[in-house]
Amino acid sequence: MTAAKVSLGRFLFYDRKLSGNGTYSCATCHRQELAFTDGRAQSIGSTGEIHPRGAMSLANAAYNITLTWSDPALIRLEDQVEIPLFHREPVEMGMSGRVDTLLDRLKSDRRYRRWFAAAFPGQSDPIRLGNLYRAIASFERILISGGSPYDRLVYGGEMEALADSARNGMGLFFSNRLRCSRCHGGITFSGPTAFAGNRPPRQAFHNTGLYNLGPRGNYPEDDQGLYRFTGRQGDMGRFRAPTLRNIGLTSPYMHDGSIATLEEVIDHYSAGGRTIPTGRYAGDGRASPNKSELVSGFYISRQEKADLVAFLKSLTDTGFISEERFSDPFETPVPSVPP
């Protein structure tokens, strides 16, 4: 990580040159004002293809021990950058088979020639894919969200940072009755984290009883979570717990955006799974054989639900979504350039 890499990565992240038809940048699906999500149930690629999942938030991505919703092998941000650029099923940025085009676009831009050379000094030909990945990953690593009212209370000692309702909700969130923090724990509210000096903990993926199709508790064929990578039936429908930081900004919810509001998400967990009475996905998620034992249901009153939602909304970091260092440099009146 250097300032020059981060700054270059910021320009690349927001540059539409990185998509095949010049219409998409990384920021198209990772919008700062939505905590680097896209606000859609299922993302849409640069050529209009609909994805099975929504765009995950990039907040604190540097600390995630796995990236994306369910790929256990994707653990480095540098490796993840490759996926949206070159993925074909579905198409995201649409650069598959067009590496030379991508590099030519960058090389023909005088600014990138200068910025790549500054970020990767001593290299005779610094504009190359590996360096592009490194620069974008460097930028993503500075996307740290830790200034929410919750953080101001817990880590900043501002005892009035949370309203009473949110404080009650916080108690519920961490309680043994609701056990939300069992999966959405750690500083990221996303489960196990990796950081310097810490031996990486085990990866965690969960089946929350969202679907239960057929006798084996399947998920819809287009997205079966960890199962796609391992082929083990027990991994059917298992996904990583996404971060709850800024969750008030990142609706709709669940990996496929199939739940619209936080209240409905709480209802889902309170019931111990989702029952879909009719249609192609009809099934009782509560009875799924693959469901996590942590999703066993709980009683929650109306007031408690409101308190819990208030707490979840207290995880919104307004500084994060307005921080200039994370914003589109092409829209800044005087773009900051790498040294």
Partner 1 sequence: MLKPISIAILFGSLLAVPPLPANASGGSKQPKAASKSAVPPTRSPAEQAVDHYNFGLKSRNKAVRFEEKARQADKASRRAGYLKKAQVQYGKAIREFQLAVRLNPKFHQAFSSLGYAQRKSGDPGAAVIAYDRALALSPNYTEAIEYRAEAFLGLDRLGEARKAYIRLFSTDRGRADELLRAMRKWIETRRGSPENLSKEEIDSFSGWVKDREEIASQTASLDGMKKRKW
Provide the binding-site residues for partner 1, judged by CB under 8 A.
153-157, 159, 170-171, 173-175, 181-182, 185-187, 191-193, 198, 201-204
Closest distance to partner 1 from the beta carbon of 246 (Å): 18
The residue among 163, 165, 166, 161 whose CA lies nearest residue 148 is 161
Closest distance to partner 1 from the beta carbon of 154 (Å): 6
Question: Of 175 and 318, which has the nearer Cβ to partner 1?
Answer: 175
Confirm if 309 and 169 have CB atoms less than 8 A apart. yes
Question: Of 146 and 272, which has the nearer Cβ to partner 1?
Answer: 146
Q: How far is residue 72's CA from residue 80's CA, in Å, rounded to a whole number? A: 12
Q: What does the DSSP 8-state code read for residue 182?
A: G
Question: Of 155 and 330, which has the nearer Cβ to partner 1?
Answer: 155
Question: Of 156 and 339, which has the nearer Cβ to partner 1?
Answer: 156
Write the CB contacts of 240 (distance below 8 Å, at least 6 apart in sequence).
64, 66, 68, 69, 70, 190, 191, 203, 204, 205, 206
Closest distance to partner 1 from the beta carbon of 238 (Å): 11
The residue among 247, 218, 250 whose CA lies nearest residue 39 is 250
Name beta bridge partners: 259. 253
Q: How far is residue 10's CA from residue 7's CA, in Å, rounded to a whole number? A: 5
Q: How far is residue 263's CA from residue 252's CA, in Å, rounded to a whole number? A: 11
Biggest alpha carbon–alpha carbon distance for the chain = 65
Question: Of 173 and 219, which has the nearer Cβ to partner 1?
Answer: 173
Question: Of 191 and 257, which has the nearer Cβ to partner 1?
Answer: 191
Q: Which alpha helices (DSSP H) does the chain contain, by range?
A: 3-13, 26-29, 77-86, 99-107, 110-119, 129-141, 149-154, 164-173, 227-230, 262-271, 302-313, 318-322
Closest distance to partner 1 from the beta carbon of 85 (Å): 31
Q: How far is residue 87's CA from residue 34's CA, in Å, rounded to a whole number? A: 24
Closest distance to partner 1 from the beta carbon of 293 (Å): 11
Name beta bridge partners: 284. 275
Closest distance to partner 1 from the beta carbon of 168 (Å): 11
Closest distance to partner 1 from the beta carbon of 183 (Å): 9
Question: Of 186 and 283, which has the nearer Cβ to partner 1?
Answer: 186
Closest distance to partner 1 from the beta carbon of 201 (Å): 6
Question: Of 42 and 188, which has the nearer Cβ to partner 1?
Answer: 188
**333 CB neighbour count, 10 Å cutoff:** 4
